[in-house]
Amino acid sequence: FCMLYSDFCLFAVFAFSTCGGYSGQLRVSVDCMEKASSNLSIPIDFGYPFRLDQVSFEAPACEATKRERVFLIGDFSSSAEFFVTISVFAFLYSLMASIVYIFFLNKYRQISRGPLIDFVVTVVFSFVWLVSSSAWAKALSDVKTATDPDEVQLLIPACKVQTNKCGSVHGARWSGLNTSVVRLGDRCNYT
Ligand SMILES: *[C@@H]1O[C@H](CO)[C@@H](O)[C@H](O)[C@H]1NC(C)=O
Ligand SMILES: *[C@@H]1O[C@H](CO)[C@@H](O)[C@H](O)[C@H]1NC(C)=O
């Protein structure tokens, strides 16, 4: 049925598999002056729905074996959940519309309002979809900033002390999430 409602269907599948299923990891290092208390690879996991203010990790305080819990900043769950919810509805709608087309084509033609209802629903969906995609595109760029290892280092108290050295081991992979936003661009180009 993706052939009939290809836009909605592809959007739904993309949004769900990229945004809804996303999980990523970044790693930072805290190299204390006292080498014994360093941790050169601290993993930080996060993912959908991007409630980053609930994501925390333990970083060395660079004083003996003391450790401190550090939280990331920001809650992007409303945009992410809106985007995924719309994609689920788009998926269900394209499924339903395809069933109507395939099995009830004659009835659909007889009901004079059928095509009109279809048109109105499509227009409304396209609009809501555009809104949710733009909101998500904005949220995604904020999520990328908030999970950038260089930004995360600034949150670790021990890194504010000049004699300790902090660095990024690796950032999160974003390739899947880029596609969820790229499709918005595709859509705008030919609508
Ligand atoms: C570094 O920190 C992580 C997470 O807090 C911990 O699992 C790991 O054991 C630590 N590594 C060292 C060498 O302390
Ligand atoms: C994803 O987007 C970022 C910029 O937001 C870019 O640096 C990166 O190369 C992109 N990755 C892919 C796989 O397109």
The yes-or-no verdict on residue 116 having pLDDT over 60 is yes
Angle between helices 175-190 and 6-15 (to 10 degrees): 160
**Ligand 2 within 6 A of CB of 141:** no
Minimum CA distance residue for ligand 1 atom 4: 42
The yes-or-no verdict on residue 1 having pLDDT over 60 is no
Write out the residue range of the structural domain in which residue 110 sits.
2-187
Q: What whole-number distance in Å separates Cα of residue 170 and Cα of residue 167?
A: 9
Confidence (pTM): 0.75
Minimum CA distance residue for ligand 1 atom 8: 42
Total domains in the fold of the chain: 1
49 cis-preceded (ω within 30 degrees of 0): yes
Neighbours of 30 (CB within 10 A): 23
Give the number of whichever ligand sits closest to the CA of residue 59.
1
Beta strands in 74-164 (DSSP E): none
Q: What are the tokens at 174?
A: 């974003």
Amino acid at 142: D
* Residue pLDDT, tens place only, 62-88: 888 889 999 999 999 999 999 888 888
Query: Phi and psi for 62 in degrees, rounded to 5?
Result: 60, 25
